[in-house]
């Protein structure tokens, strides 16, 4: 049909019959495809003829119905065809190729050092994940996982026994091939998982070398969320008329993830916004993606964040054992927040991620697709947020929005309670946490106090003491993140105010602080709790020309702060032209006790 009508007309004809996609890449045949928003199908593994022993193993792991990628790829893989699979992350790709291969080659007798299935993955975490899936399906198979950062002698001993499957990263696999520990002559099936990331990491030469060493008549499977030119080249050179299963189509981002942008005005406000997001719901699991190892470590140890959540770092310098422990703690819920570089962005099975936060817009749309895919996995709902500071980052976000074909809504940080209500909530939480047994031990004190004053007086005095302890500790600046400060907006009752007038007004009330001009024409100020009361009363005066309110979320400033230059070197670049008002951000020079803003750019060095 494709040859008679051409791929475009054939596609139009077939779409009028049922939703399919005609592939115009690699192969002249029609490609089977399915565009569905649900993450499950009515087809079961029993329907496609999976053996009873493996059906029982799947059922023991809570798996019965097939996800779309599994339902679409099972038969062609089981029949021995070469397959290219495109599916969003978190849709069951691993089981989609592992199960039919195990079923197809179940009768083969394994030999030492000579696997009949080789699976390459870009990272050790993904390789370990694939190996775990194999063990769940059939624990009788000898599946050996080889990767860097682990003992080569232990892995070599495992390979010296009869081996069915080798799962590994390209570098370690090549090492064992070169020393003769892995013999590729008996390979029946070869799998490239997350092929596009292989190119990103720089494994192009290694993969081509491994594929040249395998038999020409083998079955080849390639799974990738995106299809860059190198992936297409691999398919053309090493695959025999592959059948393409495309479950992505034009929309590249996960269906179950809602996408947002959150504008901030300074580097400090990135961390502040994350703190407020975590504080709003500390039960949800969050993944924060950053560009560098330095940022990763700094954010994971930031005291503003650690007071609200258990947080761990995951990047290339973390040891293998620590990485494995961190991922396990995150999966189990012991760790609620993970901050990671892109090493954790692809393929890792981390169920239950509710919120993905991009500390900055990622450099490519492919990176964003894989990052956002950590949320909304296996049918669950998720949110993905990009923090944007300055015009350049907003432009990057809009470019991702356009290329991904996904609209980004403006995210509104959940409003914070006014200081008085927040204090009362904190005190009530503290009181409620005291057990009846603990209260009973103080009955004699209660009786003695009530003999000297009324219950109302005693409770009022106690609340004052508790308030002094909880007030400063729970509040922090929305401008700098400094603990014990409350950010407020000073505005004019009859229009915009000038900074000199605002400084004069603060001086009259014996308040020294910094001022930042907001987009609304007001002045954002950081105040101590007692200073909030002073200004509230001063602005309530009918003769005052100022109005005053406490911020419920970080204010957007009139001039965005500079962001670190991507080339490193300690410089900054501003989103405004040089020579603007950016040089004088206003206020007093003594900023140390307010958390400091002298270094508004935040992170220097390697981006």
For residue 530, give the 3-state DSSP assignment: helix
- Specify the range with the lowest mean pLDDT, choosing from 175-189, 220-234, 467-481: 467-481
Domain boundary among 368, 389, 410: 410
- Which pLDDT value is given to residue 282? 78
User: Residue 53 is part of a domain; what is its CATH number?
Assistant: 3.40.50.300
Q: Is 451 within a domain?
A: no
- Which pLDDT value is given to residue 434? 82
Q: Is 214 within a domain?
A: yes
Strands (E), 414-542: 486-492, 515-517, 523-527
Q: Is 587 within a domain?
A: yes
- Specify the range with the lowest mean pLDDT, choosing from 87-96, 206-215, 396-405: 87-96
Res. 231: pLDDT tops 80 = no
Res. 309: pLDDT tops 80 = yes
- Are 93 and 225 members of one domain? yes
- Are 535 and 591 members of one domain? yes
- How many domains, the chain? 3
Res. 460: pLDDT tops 50 = yes
Parallel, antiparallel, or unpaired: how do β-strands 523-527 and 486-492 relate?
Answer: antiparallel
- Are 231 and 380 members of one domain? no
111 forms bridges with which residues in the sheet? 114, 163
- Specify the range with the lowest mean pLDDT, choosing from 23-32, 137-146, 166-175, 224-233: 23-32
For residue 522, give the 3-state DSSP assignment: coil
- Are 272 and 237 members of one domain? no
Reported as a pLDDT band with limits 50, 70 and 90, residue 235 is confident
- Which pLDDT value is given to residue 586? 37
- Are 379 and 521 members of one domain? no
Residue 102 class from Cβ within 10 Å (0-12 exposed, 13-18 middle, 19+ buried)? buried
- Are 216 and 92 members of one domain? yes
For residue 533, give the 3-state DSSP assignment: helix
User: Residue 600 is part of a domain; what is its CATH number?
Assistant: 3.30.70.1800
Distance between CA atoms of 124 and 381, rounded to whole angstroms? 27
Listed residue (114, 116, 147) closest to 130, CA to CA: 147
- Which pLDDT value is given to residue 368? 86
Res. 588: pLDDT tops 50 = no
Domain boundary among 217, 246, 275: 246
Distance between CA atoms of 93 and 100, rounded to whole angstroms? 12
Reported as a pLDDT band with limits 50, 70 and 90, residue 268 is very high
Distance between CA atoms of 96 and 36, rounded to whole angstroms? 17
Q: What are phi and psi of 262, to 5 degrees?
A: -130, 105
Per-residue pLDDT averaged across 441-452, rounded?
Answer: 86
371 against 163, higher pLDDT: 163
Res. 432: pLDDT tops 90 = no
Q: Is 147 within a domain?
A: yes
- Are 233 and 324 members of one domain? no
- Which pLDDT value is given to residue 289? 93
- Are 116 and 186 members of one domain? yes
- Are 392 and 497 members of one domain? no
In tens, the pLDDT along 498-529 reads: 888 899 999 999 998 888 999 888 999 999 88
Q: Is 22 within a domain?
A: no
Domain that holds residue 533: 475-607
Among residues of the chain, what percentage have pLDDT more than 90? 34
pTM over 0.85: no
| Contact indicator for 82, 241 with CB cutoff of 8 Å | yes
Domain boundary among 213, 246, 279: 246
- Which pLDDT value is given to residue 474? 64
For residue 441, give the 3-state DSSP assignment: coil
Distance between CA atoms of 241 and 28, rounded to whole angstroms? 8
DSSP of 84-104, one letter per residue?
Answer: EEE--TTSSHHHHHHHHHHHH
- Are 267 and 316 members of one domain? yes
Report the interhelical angle of 170-178 vs 152-160 (nearest 10°). Answer: 60
Output the CA torsion sign for 271, 277, 282, 286: negative
Per-residue pLDDT averaged across 592-606, rounded?
Answer: 40
- Are 54 and 195 members of one domain? yes
- Are 266 and 370 members of one domain? yes
- Which pLDDT value is given to residue 568? 41
In tens, the pLDDT along 520-565 reads: 889 999 998 888 889 988 998 888 889 988 888 899 998 765 555 4
| CA-atom Rg of the chain in angstroms | 30
Reported as a pLDDT band with limits 50, 70 and 90, residue 18 is very low
- Which pLDDT value is given to residue 255? 62
| Contact indicator for 540, 581 with CB cutoff of 8 Å | no
Average pLDDT, the chain: 79
- Which pLDDT value is given to residue 402? 86
Per-residue pLDDT averaged across 288-296, rounded?
Answer: 91
Q: Is 230 within a domain?
A: yes
């Amino acid at each position: 049909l494709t040859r008679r009508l051409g791929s475009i007309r054939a596609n139009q004809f077939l779409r009028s019959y049922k939703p399919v996609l005609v592939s115009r890449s690699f192969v002249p045949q029609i490609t089977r495809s399915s565009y569905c928003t649900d993450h499950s199908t009515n087809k079961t593994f029993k329907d496609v003829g999976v053996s009873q022993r493996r059906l029982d193993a799947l059922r023991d792991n809570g798996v019965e119905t097939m996800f779309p990628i599994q339902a679409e790829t099972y038969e062609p893989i089981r029949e021995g065809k070469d397959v290219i699979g495109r599916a969003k992350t978190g849709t069951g790709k691993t089981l989609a190729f592992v199960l039919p291969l195990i079923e197809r080659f179940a009768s083969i007798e394994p030999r030492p050092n000579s696997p009949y299935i080789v699976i390459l993955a870009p990272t050790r975490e993904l390789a370990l994940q694939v190996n775990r899936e194999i063990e769940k399906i059939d624990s009788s198979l000898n599946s050996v996982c080889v990767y860097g950062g682990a003992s080569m002698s232990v892995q070599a001993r495992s390979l010296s026994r009869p081996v069915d499957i080798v799962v590994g990263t390209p570098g370690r696999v090549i090492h064992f091939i070169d020393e003769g520990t892995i013999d590729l002559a008996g390979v029946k099936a070869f799998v490239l998982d997350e092929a596009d990331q292989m190119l990103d990491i720089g494994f192009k030469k290694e993969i081509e070398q491994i594929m040249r060493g395998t038999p020409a008549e083998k079955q080849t499977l390639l799974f990738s969320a995106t299809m860059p030119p190198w992936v297409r080249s691999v398919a053309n050179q090493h695959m025999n008329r592959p059948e393409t299963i495309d479950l992505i189509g034009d929309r590249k981002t996960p269906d179950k993830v809602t996408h947002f942008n959150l504008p901030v005005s300074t580097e400090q406000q990135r961390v502040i916004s994350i703190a407020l997001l975590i504080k709003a719901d500390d039960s949800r699991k969050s993944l924060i993606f950053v560009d560098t190892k330095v940022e990763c470590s700094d954010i994971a140890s930031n005291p503003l964040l650690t007071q609200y959540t258990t947080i761990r770092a995951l990047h290339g310098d973390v040891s293998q054992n620590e990485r494995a422990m961190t991922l396990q703690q995150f999966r189990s819920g012991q760790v609620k927040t993970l901050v990671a570089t892109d090493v954790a962005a692809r393929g890792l099975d981390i169920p239950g991620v509710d919120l993905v936060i991009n500390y900055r817009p990622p450099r490519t749309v492919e990176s964003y697709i894989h990052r956002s895919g950590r949320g909304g996995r296996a049918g669950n709902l998720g949110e993905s947020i990009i923090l944007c500071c300055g015009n350049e980052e907003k432009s990057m976000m809009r470019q991702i929005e356009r290329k991904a074909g996904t609209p980004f809504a403006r995210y509104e940080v959940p409003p914070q309670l006014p200081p008085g209500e927040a204090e009362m909530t904190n005190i009530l939480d503290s009181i409620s946490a005291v057990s009846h047994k603990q209260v009973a031990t103080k009955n004699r004190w209660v009786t003695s106090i009530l003999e000297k004053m009324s219950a109302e007086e005693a409770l009022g005095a106690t609340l004052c003491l508790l308030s002094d302890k909880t007030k400063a500790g729970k509040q922090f600046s929305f401008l700098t993140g400094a603990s014990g400060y409350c950010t407020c907006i000073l505005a004019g009752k009859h229009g915009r105010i000038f900074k000199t007038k605002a400084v004069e007004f603060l001086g009259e009330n014996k308040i020294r602080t910094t001022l930042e001009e907001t987009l609304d024409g007001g002045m954002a100020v950081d105040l101590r709790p007692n200073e909030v009361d002073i200004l509230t009363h001063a602005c309530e005066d009918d003769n005052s020309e100022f109005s005053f309110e406490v911020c419920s979320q970080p204010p957007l400033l009139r001039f965005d702060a500079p962001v670190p230059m991507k080339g490193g070197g300690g410089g900054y670049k501003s989103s405004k032209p040089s020579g603007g008002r950016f040089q004088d951000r206003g206020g007093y020079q003594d900023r140390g006790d307010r958390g400091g803003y002298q270094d508004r750019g935040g992170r220097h060095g390697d981006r």
